[in-house]
Chain A
Amino acid sequence: MSLTTNRIKTTALTRIIVPASLGHVGATGGGLMANDNGTVTFAQGGAGVWILPIKDLTVGDTIMRFTIRGATAGAAAKTLAFSLMKSVSASGTITASSVQAATSDTTATAHAIDLETYLTTPSKVAVKEEYFVKCTMTTNGAGVTATLSSVEILVKKTYGQET
């Protein structure tokens, strides 16, 4: 027999998996999804921006950490910059601001991207806000590519009490 109640509030940490292919090209093109791997690839010479909206957040959630997953190929320079952003509507415009930037990945050699960033100040999702990760991918030199797989978001959620 199950207990049905709305009088117990439970807090929990959970890790949301956000596939990179849920995102879209930002103001600067470069990322391509035309593959069967569910990934986003930035070819050599790109300086593209990719916007990955964070699904499955609920007002009141607290974001603690974000982790970028992917891979780079080629042994020349690349600069991969990631920032957790939020935007809010105002009269005539939508204002986006950086919540926290990750340390840029500038490793020249081919490697797996596994970039974990704890927020200095955990960010509580407020009414009217939406969150996204802005990925700015600069690849230079022959044979250099960068591929994004997913972003993992560590969130503190509260379940159980009806609002």
Chain B
Amino acid sequence: MHVLEEVAKGEAFSPAKQAYRILVIDDDNCVGAAIKATLMRHGGEIEIAPRACVGIEALGSASFDVVLVDLFMPGMSGLDAISHIRRQSGVPIIAMSGFRLRDSANSIDYLGMAMQRGASTCIRKPFAPKQLIEAIDRTLLQGREQQEYCGE
């Protein structure tokens, strides 16, 4: 909860960090709409895809800093969408899920499954703006480190 309290204090996000181009793939339109409304104020550009195939098409015609994918969608599932996207581009992917991400008692590990298919990280819904920004920053940093490592 401490993360959320910081949002209330106004330390949530620094405007300069939010000029991302984000693709949100989620059958629940309200998530993308809220991210769009909040981050657009700070120069971010957010595109929303209600189906995995629509998102994959969007990726073909424009470039994004990061892609957010919901794991549970009608039609193509989020996990399959991640595999699909990975096959055609190296764009960082963040998975979202309303379920527990890890549950050792039931040997459920969405985080592991999503990462195995090429996602950088996973966030659990509901999440606050700050959590999203942190996940994106972490993901982009990882990407840069990887690039530098490969470049040497």
Task: Say if A and B assemble together.
Answer: no
Residues of chain A having any CB pair with chain B under 8 Å: none
